[in-house]
Homo-oligomer: A and B are copies of this chain.
Amino acid sequence: MREKAMQIALDAMGSDSCPVPDVEGAILAAREFGETILIIGDEKRVKPELSKYDTAGLKLEVIHASDAVTMGDKPSLVGKSKPNSSMHIGMNLVKSKNADAFVTAGNTGAAMTIATLFTLRRIKNVKRPALSSIIRVMNGHTIIMLDIGANTDSKPEWLVQFAIMGQIYAQQALGLQNPKVALLSNGEEETKGNQLIHEASELLKATKMNFVGNIEPREMLEGNADVIVSDGFVGNIAIKTLEAMGSALLKLIRQEIKSDLIATVGALLAQRAFRRVRKQVDPFEIGGAPLLGVDGVVIIGHGRSNAKAIKNAIGQARMAVKGDVIQSISNGLKDLAD
């Protein structure tokens, strides 16, 4: 564990409402963690925002970026077309060791492309970097899912690498002991799964990982495994289905309660319980999840992030740096390659 002070670069131009929640998140993080936060973005927009707060004693620096990636930018073009974006600058700070990690709530595909092809590039032996999602499931258990969207039509060996990277992250940054690794599948039995799952399963059995086989969505939400591995197409649909069902159900409950006066009174009485529910399912409590396989800590938060989410994403970056995740992944993949 590294305990020295660190510098975390934050994309001020990331979130949908940037730079407002991004800057406030930086302040909350500087206050809570005591680390230096490098706020990267258009200084004409960042500095006025920053001046609204009392930042005395906080380690905050503004680094100007003349350009910014938007949510509408095409990932395939933005790497080349905006070399001075806050994402490029932030990731290059990590590359040059002037920052320990980079955090953004911006365009995920763009972050992936800029990291992989234009700045940090891949850790040696990594075939494909993966996007992950860290979610809290039943009983407060935390799991990491990957790949959730970077790679469609994955090959079995890529899934093995996702498993290794996820397992290392779970252990080093999430503090899970001997994390259980599982393949997201349409059934627990070994006969279940598609061709990709069958082949990846055989390969995973041959590793030293704590591979527990196939897992179905229900058991995933019960926390029966810690690292949930899938192809990016399947993982993306799974995570989006989780989110969509969660909000649809909460919306339906709100609608039905509102349409009924007595229920409205009841819901007022139950509001503390509902608040606890929301807190448990709130993705902003986690804040962000790593882009795994690129040669530097990159944490990606949701576009809709609020200040708390940004702060928690910075916290996630801090744990990844403390856990020396990049070096561990590098070693882990070297061991596999040997």
Q: What is A's interface to B at a CB cutoff of 8 Å?
A: 137-138, 149, 152-153, 184-187, 193-195, 197, 216-218, 220-222, 231-234, 236-238, 240-253, 256-257, 259-260, 262-274, 276-277, 280-281
User: Which one, B187, B237, B244, B247, contacts A186 given CB within 8 A?
Assistant: B237
Q: Is the CB of A277 within 8 A of B248?
A: no
- Indicate if the CB atoms of A253 and B274 lie closer than 8 Å: yes
- Given contacts A240-B218, A242-B241, A266-B266, A232 and B186 within 8 Å (CB-CB): yes
18 examples of A-B residue contacts, CB within 8 angstroms: A138-B251, A138-B252, A153-B194, A197-B233, A217-B237, A217-B241, A218-B248, A221-B244, A233-B234, A245-B249, A260-B273, A262-B272, A263-B272, A263-B274, A266-B267, A266-B268, A269-B269, A270-B270
- Distance (Å) between the CB of A154 and the closest chain B CB? 9
Question: Which chain B residue shows the least CB distance to A260?
Answer: B273
Contact B193 A233 (CB under 8 A): yes
Instruction: Using A186-B233, A195-B153 as known contacts, say yes or no to A249 and B246 having CB atoms under 8 A apart.
Output: yes
Q: How far is the CA of A277 from the CA of B270 in the complex (A)?
A: 16
On whether the beta carbons of B245 and A241 are closer than 8 Å, the reply is yes
A152 and B186 contact, Cβ closer than 8 Å, known pairs A233-B193, A240-B217: yes
- Going nearest first, the 4 A-B pairs with the smallest beta carbon separation are A266-B269, A266-B270, A263-B273, A152-B194
Closest chain B residue to A233, Cβ basis: B194
Q: Is the CB of B277 within 8 A of A252?
A: yes
List the number of copies, as a whole number: 2
Least Cβ–Cβ distance between A174 and chain B, in angstroms = 20
A236 — which chain B residues lie within 8 A by C-beta?
A: 186-187
Nearest B residue to A264, CB-CB? B270
Instruction: Give CA–CA (A195, B263) in the complex, Å.
Output: 48
The distance from the CB of A151 to the nearest CB of chain B, in whole angstroms, is 9
- State A270–B272 Cα separation when bound (angstroms): 15
Residue of B at shortest CB range from A216? Answer: B240
**A152 and B273 form a contact (CB under 8 A):** no
A217–B244 CB distance below 8 A: yes
Which of B184, B247, B253, B280 is in CB contact (< 8 Å) with A277?
Answer: B253
* List of B residues within 8 angstroms of A250 by Cβ: 249
Which residues of B are found within 8 Å of A149, using beta-carbon distances? 186
Alpha-carbon separation in the docked complex, A233 to B272 (Å)? 39
A328 to B194 alpha-carbon distance, docked (Å): 31
